[in-house]
């Protein structure tokens, strides 16, 4: 590698260390790192702000912005209070039952929407129901972030890296359902078992609180029925457009902004109320992170790491697939999985063709998808959903530290990828 490449690695590792140790605010660390990358010419304005491969992913930023505005409008209706009471009553106030319910809902919703949208919608419900039952909210938020990453792996629209993989590999929505979804179902069940062990201290049952919840009427929580129907109608259209992305060809970011704009323009909610739920620090953090990772792409660092992992397998399909799975898991734990997949997908496309370009060689795409999606659970910055959850928690004065998330994430990522390894081997390589 060149001297500039080594210098960019040093800058990235320095910023990452500051984020991990929380010596400075994560936004300051990300922006500082991005600024230094531009200062040393590891990247430039064109690459950082206008490149689809090495710049800020504006599709992700505007998807987040649009959905945050929609959530801000929905919050005015009382629907989150309604869902909180409904979920607590269905769980009969039992903490573990409640977590199972929230995890399953999050995983299913992430498969139909995308995982970031899902956590934006489910987090407000979680805060309210945990407050009602006097439960610590952090374990529930961490579980939901991880469930969204696992559930989102099941479909083409569930996780942004899957959209990139589908485009590069010529894969359809049904391809993901057939090859990813069956294993994801198993992983969700295993994850629920892990939650029972990892968060066992949080499952403290309060009979009095549970009795109070059972006596509540969730319908009384709805504050504005007209606004509710308007908001749900727009949200339904947004969801439908997400699912129909392969047909309509509207990017999720465009759909989210159109939905947000429609709600603000067509309802009595003020602009101030609509943008009150926008997590500006989270959006700025992502921008800084994209610029830093883009600089690593520009200087050839990520490409060389990926190519070295491929070269180590010496052209053997089985070894390549398993090596790709684990390398993707490790790298996606450190850098956001979106720019990693954008960088790695051309290499995988060449590998698929080198191995015959047939259905048998498609296992490499599934290895990349599983590794990137599940590896995102390993650390607090590995996936967009993790960063969003941490931002929401901080906004609600229940901060989740980098290591508090990561100590559970490493366990979940390791267990799930260990289970995926024999799945890929037995289904595609035997």
What string of DSSP letters covers 50-86? Answer: T-TTTS--HHHHHHHHHHHHHHHHHHTTTHHHHHHHH
Nearest residue to 245 via CA among 112, 360, 144, 148: 112
pLDDT reported for residue 367: 95
427 DSSP assignment: I
pLDDT reported for residue 209: 87
Residue stretches of the chain with pLDDT short of 50 = none
Q: What angle do CA 89, 93, 97 make, to 5 degrees?
A: 95
Alpha-carbon separation of residue 25 from 15, 19, 155, 345 (angstroms): 11, 7, 34, 32
Nearest residue to 56 via CA among 250, 289, 279, 254: 289
For residues 339 and 297, is the Cβ–Cβ distance under 8 A? yes
Measured CA to CA, the distance from residue 117 to residue 127 in angstroms comes to 17
pLDDT reported for residue 196: 96
Cα atoms found within 13 Å of the Cα of residue 94, Cβ hemisphere only:
8
pLDDT reported for residue 297: 85
* CB environment 6-41: b (16+ within 10 A), e (fewer): ebbbebbeebbebbbeeeeebbbbbbbbbebbbeee
What is the longest distance spanned by two Cα atoms in the chain?
A: 67
CA quadruple 331, 335, 338, 342: dihedral sign: negative
Reading the block at residue 54, the tokens are: 């090495």
Number of alpha helices (DSSP H) and beta strands (DSSP E) in the chain:
23, 0
Cα atoms found within 13 Å of the Cα of residue 225, Cβ hemisphere only:
2
pLDDT reported for residue 322: 92
**Sequence-distant (≥ 6) Cβ neighbours of residue 62 within 8 angstroms:** 253, 254, 256, 257
**Sequence-distant (≥ 6) Cβ neighbours of residue 308 within 8 angstroms:** none
pLDDT reported for residue 116: 82
């Amino acid at each position: 590698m060149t001297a500039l490449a080594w210098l960019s690695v040093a800058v990235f590792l320095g910023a990452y260390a500051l984020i991990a140790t929380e010596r400075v605010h994560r936004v300051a660390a990300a922006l500082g790192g991005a600024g230094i990358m531009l200062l040393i010419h590891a990247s430039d304005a064109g690459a950082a702000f206008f490149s689809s491969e090495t710049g800020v992913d504006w599709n992700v930023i505007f998807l987040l912005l649009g959905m945050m505005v929609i959530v801000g409008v929905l919050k005015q209706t009382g629907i989150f209070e309604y869902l909180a009471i409904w979920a607590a009553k269905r769980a009969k106030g039992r903490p573990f039952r409640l977590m199972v319910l929230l995890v399953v809902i999050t995983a299913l919703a992430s498969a139909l929407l995308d995982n970031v949208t899902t956590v934006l919608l489910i987090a407000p419900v979680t805060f309210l129901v945990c407050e009602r039952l006097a439960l610590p909210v952090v374990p529930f938020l961490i579980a939901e972030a991880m469930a969204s990453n696992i559930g989102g792996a099941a479909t083409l629209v569930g996780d942004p890296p899957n959209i990139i993989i589908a485009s590069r590999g010529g894969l359809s929505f049904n391809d993901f359902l057939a090859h990813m979804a069956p294993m994801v179902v198993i992983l969700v069940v295993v994850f629920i078992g892990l939650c029972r062990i990892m968060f066992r201290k949080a499952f403290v049952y309060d009979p009095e609180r549970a009795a109070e919840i059972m006596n509540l009427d969730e319908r009384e929580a709805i504050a504005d029925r007209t606004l509710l129907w308007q908001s749900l109608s727009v949200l339904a259209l947004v969801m439908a457009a997400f699912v129909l992305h392969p047909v309509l060809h509207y990017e999720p970011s465009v759909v989210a902004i159109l939905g947000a704009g429609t709600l603000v323009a067509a309802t009595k909610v003020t602009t101030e109320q609509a943008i009150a739920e926008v997590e500006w620090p989270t959006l700025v953090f992502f921008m800084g992170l994209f610029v830093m990772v883009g600089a690593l792409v520009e200087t050839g660092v990520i490409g060389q790491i990926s190519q070295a992992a491929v070269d180590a397998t010496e052209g053997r399909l089985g070894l390549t697939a398993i090596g790709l799975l684990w390398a993707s898991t490790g790298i996606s734990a450190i850098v956001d999985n979106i720019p990693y997949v954008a960088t790695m997908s051309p290499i995988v496309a060449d590998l698929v063709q080198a191995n015959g370009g047939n259905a048998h060689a498609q296992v490499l795409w599934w290895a990349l998808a599983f590794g990137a999606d599940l590896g995102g659970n390993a650390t607090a910055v590995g996936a967009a959903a993790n960063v969003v959850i941490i931002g929401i928690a901080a906004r609600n004065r229940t901060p989740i530290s980098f290591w508090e998330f990561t100590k559970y994430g490493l366990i979940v990522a390791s267990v799930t990828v260990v289970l995926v390894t024999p799945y890929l081997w037995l289904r595609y390589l035997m």
